[in-house]
A and B are shown apart, each in its own frame.
Chain A
């Protein structure tokens, strides 16, 4: 499929609001992780929480969508002129010709968790609980579509931690078929008890800030965040960075453990390279999925080292942001774009001693480098894998 222009993009996470905040933190090798202080939890762990969401309810005509997840969506839409840029695209192409393809893993489930604590004597949920605008996975796309004045194709991809990487592929296919002219992609995941206690139940949460690819890594740090990108034909934005390839696969192995040999991961990366028409040696940096669980990093390392050898610089930026779960794909795509645009490769944070069992050339310090193409990995529960190849502006 032909390359697409990534003409506008933005991001919000624990590093701050907007591209500049994330860029500055990456430059300074500063992590946004803090001891977990999320309301209603008593877990010994670190999280990447976004400040200010409790004080930013959605009001007015779209108040039925008010929940932590959609507040985070709104916060991101307001950064870097993103909402304005999409509204311009909506006028240019027509409101029904701009798609909205977004990912989330848990949507507004926090609203349901909180509503369950306020059930009446008859067990009924409180009258102010809004299922469609919060709990239902589609609420994110419905909110963003209405907020941006769009009226075309919309959907939510919810394939766990690959969700907001896969949205690029969905948009690409709809564009290739001529069903739309542009697409808003990205997505949001927000902190909730389901993921904090769920990953805890699997023994996958670290009590320290996560240490991807470290010999002593012992689990993830959960974060929250949002990111969006506007995709258009290359001729419409020739100076913009590009989406060159998307590769997708399934592990067919286990619901919550990756394939031990990284088989699905390798297939996803190879397919992304094939679509981009690039060889492994054309890739200047790999943004790893790198969750910091013993199994994930070992499995991904086999796949990455198997394909790229030990020469291509790579890191996981989850030491800075935490694992944003369904929002990891878009967040790490934006981080890759920022690194490419500003001529550096971001280090993996918190990692003290690289695991000698792992072969990937893992960066422990930022490095200046001019890179034309990068690959970003996102793998999820259910064995859902997606890799993106992103390219610099021509």
Chain B
């Protein structure tokens, strides 16, 4: 069992434009109405990088910026864990199309955007972060993979770590073999100690049980959770939102790898 604190949240998903607006809906205190996610162009990036940045970079920067503002913490001095199932699907599609043509020419920008750590690279340039940063993938359970990895870093190194999870749909024909329902981003600032900004205390256990994952009460939100790997973090956010408004603790079970799930006890601060 490991123990840590959550002190900032960023959120971008259909009908959930930020933590302040999304928290009451996730807590069940306000009706959830699905609406296309609006992904802003980040003013954090220098002009050249802003032109080159793909959709996952924009989602990552938006939720990253929001969670750090929420935590009132310096992103330039904080380690990061990025996690994504898909990477940049549009970019992958364009590269594979070009490579299946006779010319096989791809542009330098397409190529450097193809690395799974593109959001991490753009983020570190945008905020001047020289701390450690990693970029993970766990297919459907990418969120849980990122959460336990970030939590282990918080505890083992006694430092704050931001987790930034994002996914977005592939274009056809990849969408046909790997449907991802929507663009979703979640940012969490995690700390080894309670701070005045702490929202919740998290106790995370690895439990040998590969069933019984915590669903979302709202049917539309539940279909979002099932349809987007990054949205599998929403039950944790719902527990934080409920804890904040109702002062209740709750337990969230997230599917993890192998025969394991993450059991997270969420206690409001």
Question: Contact residues of A with B, CB < 8 Å?
Answer: 1, 95-96, 105, 109, 112-113, 116-117, 119, 123-125, 129, 131-132, 135-139, 141-142, 145, 150-160, 166, 169-170, 172-174, 176-177, 179, 193-194, 197-199, 201-202, 248-256, 263-264, 267, 380-384
Contacts and interface: CB of A to CB of B under 8 A. Distances in A.
B43 interface: no
B131 A123 contact: no
A96 B208 contact: yes
Most A C-beta atoms less than 10 A away, residue of B92, B110, B131, B152: B152
A201 B107 CA distance: 6
B2 A177 contact: yes
Given A116-B99, A202-B111, A249 B135 contact: no
Given A135-B92, A166-B134, A252-B128, 16 more contacts: A113-B96, A125-B173, A136-B178, A141-B138, A153-B258, A154-B138, A158-B87, A173-B149, A174-B149, A197-B106, A198-B95, A202-B111, A250-B131, A255-B121, A381-B112, A382-B122
Given A179-B206, A267-B130, A382-B120, A194 B258 contact: no
A119 to B, nearest CB: 6
B41 interface: no
Nearest to A123: B173
Given A152-B258, A155-B137, A138 B142 contact: yes
Given A124-B176, A154-B138, A170-B134, A137 B105 contact: no
Contact of A179 (B2, B108, B135, B139): B2
Contact of A177 (B111, B122, B155): B155
Contacts of B110: 198, 201
B206 A153 contact: yes
B108 A132 contact: no
B135 A152 contact: no
A96 B258 contact: yes
A201 B111 contact: yes
25 contacts: A112-B96, A113-B96, A123-B173, A136-B137, A151-B258, A152-B257, A156-B138, A158-B117, A159-B117, A160-B117, A170-B152, A176-B152, A179-B152, A199-B111, A201-B105, A201-B110, A249-B131, A254-B125, A255-B49, A256-B108, A380-B115, A381-B112, A382-B115, A382-B120, A383-B124
B75 to A, nearest CB: 11
B256 interface: yes
A153 B95 contact: no
B191 interface: no
Contact of B124 (A123, A138, A139, A252): A252
B121 A384 contact: yes
B95 A154 contact: no
B106 A131 contact: no
Given A155-B138, A253-B125, A96 B120 contact: no
Contact of B153 (A117, A152, A173, A201): A173
Most B C-beta atoms less than 10 A away, residue of A194, A249, A255: A255
A159 B118 CA distance: 8
B230 interface: no
A381 B257 contact: no
Interface residues of B, number: 65
A106 to B, nearest CB: 8
A132 B155 CA distance: 32
Contacts of A380: 115, 117
A136 B139 contact: yes
B137 A156 contact: yes
User: Main SS of chain A's interface residues?
Assistant: mixed
Given A160-B115, A250-B124, A255-B122, A113 B99 contact: yes
A248 B118 CA distance: 17
Contact of B133 (A154, A172, A250, A263): A250
B124 A382 contact: yes
Interface string B44-68: 0000010010000000000000000
A138 B258 contact: no
A159 B149 contact: no
A255 B49 CA distance: 9
A111 to B, nearest CB: 10
A200 B52 CA distance: 19
B33 interface: no
Contact of A158 (B2, B112, B136, B153): B136
The 3 closest A-B CB pairs, nearest first, are A382-B121, A198-B111, A158-B116
A314 B211 CA distance: 51
Contacts of B208: 96, 151
A109 B99 CA distance: 11
Interface string B131-158: 1111111110010010011001101110
B174 interface: yes
Nearest to A158: B116
Given A250-B131, A251-B130, A179 B148 contact: yes
A93 to B, nearest CB: 13
Given A123-B173, A197-B105, A138 B117 contact: no
B136 A157 contact: yes
A332 B40 CA distance: 41
A197 B174 contact: no
Interface string B81-107: 000010100001001110110001111
A193 B98 CA distance: 10
Contacts of A172: 156
